[in-house]
Structure 1
Amino acid sequence: MHELVAEIHPLWERYVPSGVAPPSVSEIEARLEPLSSDAAIEVMTALAADDLVWSNHVLMNREIAHHTVTRIVTCLGPGATWWTNREGNSWDPVTACTFDGVVAGSNGELFAILLQVGED
């Protein structure tokens, strides 16, 4: 996940305060909470379908998003572990952007990461 955050950072630098670096591996790790596979489906569906910044803006049809993320969770299998930066109705930042949401999962061999970032 750190590599993905570091890779997108230059694309969003113009929106973040000057000199702000992407969070370190340990900072990202500290902001992640474990999820069940059912909760991972729920949170990933919301991240794929709904814009974090503009609540009335639809990114993707919710039914298609749900079907897609259910397939991802099924592919990783019941032994996969899932993590998110969502805590209740808020998000702990894993990027230097104002808004970000992430769900990451791995079965030890394969991994999936859904990251949405945004600025208002």
Structure 2
Amino acid sequence: MDATERLVRIRQLLAGLPGLYGNGQVWTVIRSTDTSGPFPDAFAFLTSVGVLDTGGSDGTSPQAPQDAAQLSARLSEASQHVALDLLIGMTSRTLAYGARGRYPEERARDVFRALVKLLGHETRWWTNTDLVSWEPVTRHVMDAFVIGMGGGVMIAVLATDED
């Protein structure tokens, strides 16, 4: 399957994921990509959905990264297994209270296993969280961010929540 067909299938697979979630929201981005790395595209995504901050009115530093390099420094590379578990966890339960998320756990497992298969086993994954602690990538109280890049496609899933 070529990258264009893979992109179409992934968009169809994740079409129902974005939306309200607990006291927050889930967003996705799916783009064709080259091998330059996902961080500029991921930062542009965070900017486009309006989740970044510029600091407090009292002169405090912003919580969220201010450029792609700062975003990169807040993310750790993850194995496929870890990324899959994170994607399932962050979409089947809310971050703040563990209430039902965007998908029931079984559906999340099916969707993200299919995603991993479409992207391929050579996909590289990055995240800001282990769902217990995190490096903030947004202005929200809690956030979980997973990026995958493989097979000519970059995907990012962002969940935010407030307590």
Which of 89, 96, 119 lines up with 1:46 in the alignment?
89
TM-score of the two chains, using structure 1 as the length reference: 0.85
Alignment identity in percent?
A: 26
TM-superposed CA distance for 1:17, in Å, is: 4.4
- List gaps (5 residues or longer) in structure 1: none
CA distance in 2, matches of 1:21, 1:62: 30
Which of 78, 100, 103 lines up with 1:58 in the alignment?
100
Partner in structure 2 of residue 31 of structure 1: 74
Mapped contact 2:86–2:130 kept (Cα < 8 A): no
Partner in structure 1 of residue 50 of structure 2: 9
> Relative to structure 2, which stretch is displaced further, 87-96 or 67-76?
87-96
Instruction: Return closer, same or farther for 1:21/1:6 CA change in 2, 3 Å cut-off.
Output: farther
TM-score of the two chains, using structure 2 as the length reference: 0.64
Letter in 1 for 2:100: V
- The structure with higher relative contact order (CA 8 Å, sep 6+) is 2
Indicate the structure (1 or 2) with the bigger Cα radius of gyration: 2
TM-superposed CA distance for 1:3, in Å, is: 1.3
Partner in structure 1 of residue 30 of structure 2: none
TM-superposed CA distance for 1:8, in Å, is: 1.9
Tell me which protein shows more helix as a share of its residues: 1
> Relative to structure 2, which stretch is displaced further, 90-99 or 20-29?
20-29
Matched, 1:86 2:129: yes
Partner in structure 2 of residue 67 of structure 1: 110
Aligned-residue Cα RMSD (Å) equals 2.2
- List gaps (5 residues or longer) in structure 2: 1-41
Matched, 1:102 2:145: yes
Letter in 1 for 2:50: H
Letter in 2 for 1:8: V
